[in-house]
Every structure is written in structure tokens, then in C-alpha cells.
Amino acid sequence: MRKYIPFRIGKQISVLMDKKAVIASFILLLITVAVFLINTGSGEMYISPVDVIHTLLGSGSEMEEIVIYSFRLPRIVIALFAGMSLAVAGAILQGMIRNPLASPDVLGMTSGAAVAVVSFLALFSDKNGSLTISIHWLPLGAFIGATIAAFLVYVLAWKKGVSPIRLVLIGIGISALMQAFTTLLMLIGPIYRASQANVWITGSVYGVSWKQVFILAPWAVLLLLISLISVRQMNIQELGDELAIGAGVSLQKQRLFLLLLSTALTGGAVAFAGGIGFVGLMAPHMARRLVGSSFGALLPTAALLGAVLVMLADLVGRTLFAPLEIPAGVFTAAIGAPYFIYLLYKSRNS
Amino acid sequence: MLTTNKRRIIGLFSFVLLLLISMWMSIIYGYTDTSYQTAIEALTNKNHSNEHIIINTVRLPRALIGAAVGASLAMAGALMQALTKNPLASPGIFGINAGAGFLIVLCVTFFQVSSLQTFTWLALIGAALAAIIVFVISSVGKEGMTPLKLTLAGTAVATLFASLTQGLLVANEKALEEVLFWLAGSVSGRKLEMLISVLPYFLVAWIGSFLLAPKVNILMMGDDVAKGLGQRTNMVKLTVAILVVLLAGSSVAVAGPIGFIGIIVPHIARAFVGVDHRWVLPYCTLIGGILLNVADIGARYILMPQEVPVGIMTAFIGVPFFIYIARRGILK
């Protein structure tokens, strides 16, 4: 039995599909759907998964339709996209920097995006608290923030090349700086924005509406597609500088492109779901355990795992202490920080 | 660098002078500027005018707390840097501040504690807890506790505690109101009683650290040398760790988590007097107090009439410094 199946679309795109990866992604897809349905069904009013499917297909009761469509679905869809984006961003970074500890949070991107979002809300609100420019610009703002932070970290960590350790340390520093800026901006801005921002910074999909979904969805889908068709570049980047140059790629250009791709993904996720931490670190690792490190298989698996993680965190946050809501970011950090420590422990012993 | 003891003593006195000046400025300047004479009058011969009340109940405690907390955080940083041989070590980076903060918020949420004395104890226990976790995590593995592992483990633990704290606060808005003023890391709005309630711990830790300084010097030569010279290194390390917890925990109990003082100040002190901890520690005490008071005065002006928590100011000063040290390499 062959391990790989070639998969071609036209002459441009061809991917070797790993059978194990196909099976793993398929199972993960089922899990994602299951979590999606359970999450949609749970809450103050329980709706069984079967009824959820009925409702989604348009044959549920009116009450169920209201609960699902106007309250639950938007936040779950946002959680789904945010999880996918963060996980893929993390996978790209880990491959490019060739360091298992790289992730959007560690490199300060998340906190950079947070500063951008808070300043966006502070700068462009009028006295009545409504925004003076369209909220459609928010992901772009977050993207710029994430890019600036990532750029700062990268440049400051550069000293005849970038060592992973320096990158992580400088990332810690830049994150602290960005957090200070965020707090400062929250103090300058209107009070009600501050309490809003406080929940959001921890990472929460609380209170999102379809409007935000329709802004994030195209952004995330487009970027995820671009990531999928760039897997070849990622695979080559992971071989290391010499081999990549030897293989004939223009290394720095590709690296810049991939870096921008991951900051854009992070920016979109952070703009609407806040700083949900550690997803970009954990999901790619788990995915690599499942399907190995070839990006064709890794990206979809990581994306699904990221989606499951964030949706589960949201589910737990909503239901564990109901009617209180705990931001999803608290739970991802509660799992993620020990995981980070575990990785640290493992990587130092190898 | 000040090479002779005579110069060092002169330096010490200049810093005492600077500390007094910084405290003096902290008393006089702010949203209500007062004058030199009013301040003297308020301290010696107070009447019930607005200015005197401001000075006695707001400004004076603030200046004293700033000096004491700055001094303690700086000493905690110096001791940690010596103990771990890691130039980036400090209570903030190592999760000790976050641990103390977490335990306080946890107990405010579930046990409705509100007395100052309990706050202090909780902060101390939380600080100890975080310190133990970080030390255990970073000493597993073949080559034991390396500076890098210590830094990363500390950051992870700090993130963990911070996000748990955040979760508790979101769940319990009443607690948020009670502890938010404190959690931002600030020396403003504290009563003098708060300082007095932790003063015994501070005093014990300060005196203890000064007495331990010669032993710390020997420890700095490396474990093998220290053992060869007849030191019970584990005993010394444990004592240093307890002192660090006392210093950092009490500081957090009074002022909340204020970062970066513990990183910056020991480096400045070492630039003046080298690595002899008999000198480094007193210099840290003074420079830490000066730096926190100066940052606090800056925090009053940066967004006048609003005040910024001093923790933000120290982050702005501290991060460039942190990056500079990280670039220079922490493995030396």
C-alpha cells in the first residue's frame, strides 16, 4: 500500500497526500463538527445536536432559531475562524523560524494587534461612543499592529542572524511594552470602552454579532486559502537557509511574505476574538504529533485543532460558571501555559 | 565605577541625598502643587487646610511607600540575579508578583477577605508558591537550572497566574472593584497603615539581606567554589529565596505588581560598585527607591489630570533595558 497519493489541480498545484494525514484530518473534521453542534446546543437553553441540525437546515422551532441564529452561532463561527487563523499563523511561524516555541503570542504579535485595536477604538470613537469610521477597518488596524510588533521583535533579535532564544526573550519584552501601551490607551479612552476592552484583551468571543462574522469570515477564508497554496514555500523554508537557497527560492522575499501572512491571520483573529493565548503554540504541535511536519497535511490539521480548542474553551467558559462568562482566553492559557512549560522541558533535554 | 571604599561611601551618601530629594519632590509636585514651606508646615505644625490634608494623607504615604517598595523590589531583583546567575531575573519576570496577585484575588473572591494583614499573608504565600513552582519546573532536566529555562518557566507561570486572575475578576465584578486599584500596580491611594503593616517584614528582609551579602558574594563564585570554601550552599540559597519572597511578596501586598524595577536597578547598582553585594545591596535599596519615586512623579504628569499606574511607567523605562540585556546575551 502506498503511503502517499498524488493530488493535482491543473498544472500549478500538486500535493502529495499522506494517507495518515487524510484519515487524521477526516476524524478531526468530525470532531470539529461535533464540538460545533454541541457548542451551539449548550447554554441557558439546551438544544440537542439533532435539533441543532434541524434548525440549521431550517426546520427547527422559532424559539430555537432565535437562540441559535441571533445568540450562539455568531460567536461560535468567530471562535472557529479565530482558532483556525491563530493555529495556521503559529504553524507558519514555527516552520519559518524553525523553533517549536514560536507563536503569535510569544513573538508579541497578539499584543501588538491588541494595542492597535484599542487605539483604533480610542481614536475613532466620538463622544457618544459610536465609531467614526467603519469597523471594517479594524482587522486592517490589527494587522498593522501585529506586523509592527513582529517587525520590532525580529529586528531587535537580529544580531548576525536571529537566534530562537533571543527571539523569545525579545518577544517577552515587546509584549510587556505593548501591554503597557494597551493599559495606557484604556485609561485615555472612554471608561465603558475600558471595561469592554478588558474582557476582550483576555480573549473572548462574547457578544459578537453577524456583522463581525461577515467582516472576519472573508478575511480569514482568503488568508487560509493563500496559506494552503503556499505550503510548498513553507516546506522549503523549514529545510533551513542553505538548502532553501540551494533549491532556488528567493529566501528573504518568501520569508517576508510568510511573515506578513501570519501577521494578517493573527490580526484578523485578534481584531474580533481578542488575545486568545497559546492556541498558535499548541495547535501546530499537536498537529505535528498527528500527521508529521509536512505542511500540506499540517496546516489543515492544525487549523481544525485550533478551531476545536477555541470552541471548547468558549463552551467551557460559557457553561462552567453559568450565568457568568469566563473569557475563552483564560482556559486556553490554563492549558497552554503548562503545555509551553512541557515543550520547554522537552526541548532542553533533546 | 567607584573603586575605592571612600568613593563608594561618598556615592552612598549622594544617593541618600537623591532619595530624600525624590521623596521631597513626590510630596510637593502633583495635581495640586504645593510649596516647600507648606510641606514643612504640614509635617511639623499641621492645621486642617486642604493642602495640609493632601500632604499628610496622600503625598507623604505615597512617597514613603514608593521608597520602601522600590527599595525592596530592587533588592529582591539583585538577590534573584545573584542566586540564579541570570541578569534578567526579577520578581516580575519570574511570576512571583503574579502569584501573589492571584492568591489575593482568589481569596477575595471565595472567602471575602478584606483585612490588610490577611492581604499581606496571602501575598507572601502566593509569592512563595509561584517561586517554588518556577524553581521546580526549571530544575527538571539533565543540566539542571539554566538561566534560559528559568526565564521561560517564569514567564509561562506568570502568564498562567495572570490569566487565572483575569478569569476570576471577570467572574466576580465585586472583587474587581475591590482589587482593581491594587492590581494595576500603583503606589497612590495607599494609606500609611498599609506600609506599617508590612514594615516588619521589610525590615527583617532588609537587615537579613545586608547580613547575608558576604555569603552571596561567595555563592556568586559558583557552587563548587562555595562548597570548597566551606559554605552550606543549600542553606544560603534557601535563605536567599525566603528573603526574595519576603521582599517581593510584601511589596506586592502594598503596591500591587510593579514590574521591571527588579531588573533595572541591580544593573545600575553594579555599574557603580561592581559585583560586591555588600555594596550592591545598599545601592539597590537607594536607587530602587529613587527610581520608583521618579517614575511615580512622571506617572502624575504624563496624562495630567489623570494618573497613570506607576507599573506602566516602569514598563516603559524597563523594556528597552530588558531588550538591551537580552541582546547582550543572558548566557554569559
B212 closest CA partner among B288, B281, B258: B281
A7, part of any domain: no
Q: Read off the pLDDT of each residue in A118-135 and give the average, rounded to a whole number.
A: 71
Separate counts of helices (H) and strands (E) for chain A = 15, 2
Q: What share of chain A is helix, strand, coil (3-state, %, to 5)?
A: 75, 5, 20
Residue A158 pLDDT > 70 = yes
Q: Does B137 contact A345 at a Cβ distance shorter than 8 Å?
A: yes
Q: Does residue A106 fall inside a structural domain?
A: yes
pLDDT in tens, A257-297: 888 899 999 988 888 887 788 898 899 988 988 888 788 88
A4: distance to nearest CA of chain B, Å?
Answer: 38
User: A319 — contact with chain B (CB < 8 Å)?
Assistant: no
> How many domains, chain B?
1
Domain count, chain A: 1
Domain that holds residue B125: 5-328
Between CA B14 and CA A35 the distance in angstroms is 66
User: Is residue A331 one of the residues assigned to a domain?
Assistant: yes
Compute the distance between CA of residue B48 and CA of residue B53 in angstroms, rounded to an integer: 6
CB A104 within 8 A of CB A88: no
The C-alpha atoms of residue A276 and residue A310 are separated, in whole angstroms, by: 8
What is the total residue count of chain B? 332
pLDDT in tens, A11-40: 776 666 777 778 888 899 999 999 998 888
pLDDT digits (tens, 9 = 90+) for B273-305: 988 999 999 999 999 999 999 999 988 888 777
Residue B122 is predicted with a pLDDT of 87
pLDDT at residue A296 in the model:
80
Query: B131 in helix, strand or coil?
Result: helix
User: Can you give the pLDDT at residue B85?
Assistant: 81
Let me know if residue A2 belongs to a domain: no
DSSP state of A135: G
Q: Indicate the residue of A170, A172, A179 with minimum beta-carbon distance to B155.
A: A172
- Segment B49-73, tens digit of pLDDT: 777 877 888 888 889 999 999 999 9
**Which of B259, B308, B318 is the closest to A187 by Cβ?**
B308
Q: Do A321 and B171 touch (CB under 8 A)?
A: yes
Min Cα–Cα distance to chain A from B214, Å: 31
Q: Which residue of A has its CA nearest to B331?
A: A165
Strand locations in chain A (E): 4-9, 13-18
Q: What is the pLDDT of residue A86?
A: 93
**Residue span of the structural domain in which A54 resides:** 18-349
For A199-242, the pLDDT digits (tens) are 666 667 676 778 888 888 898 999 999 998 888 888 888 887 78
pTM passes above 0.90: no
The CATH number of the domain holding residue B292 is: 1.10.3470.10
First to last CA, chain B: 21
Q: What is the pLDDT of residue B287?
A: 95
Kindly report the number of other CB atoms within 10 A of residue B252's CB atom. Answer: 35
Residue B332: exposed, middle, or buried by beta-carbon count in 10 A (0-12, 13-18, 19+)? exposed
- Decide which of A97 and B129 is more confident: B129
Residue of B142, B309, B315 lying closest to A176 (CB–CB): B315
Task: Please give the pLDDT value at position A221.
Answer: 92
Chain A closest-CA separation from residue B171 CA (Å): 6
Q: What does DSSP assign to residue B33?
A: -
A-B C-beta contacts closer than 8 Å: 116
Q: What chain A residue is nearest to B176 in terms of C-alpha separation?
A: A195
> Quick one: pLDDT at residue A190?
63
Q: CATH number of the domain that A235 lies in?
A: 1.10.3470.10
Query: A169-178, A303-312, A336-345, B322-331 — which one is most confidently predicted on average?
Result: A303-312
* B157–A159 CB contact, under 8 Å: no
8 Å CB contact of B149 and A348: yes
> Which amino acid, A29?
L
Least confident of B50-59, B130-139, B205-214: B50-59
Closest residue to B306, CB basis, from A157, A166, A187:
A187
What is the tens place of the pLDDT at every residue in B144-199? 666 677 777 888 888 888 888 877 777 666 666 666 666 767 777 778 888 888 89
Q: Is the pLDDT at A184 greater than 90, yes or no?
A: no
In the prediction, which pLDDT does B173 show? 65
> Contact at 8 Å (CB) between A344 and B149?
yes
**Mean pLDDT value across residues B203-211:** 94
CB-based contact B141 A348, cutoff 8 Å: yes
Residue A1 lies in a domain: no
Contacts of B292 (CB under 8 A, 6+ apart): B66, B67, B69, B70, B73, B187, B258, B261, B310, B314
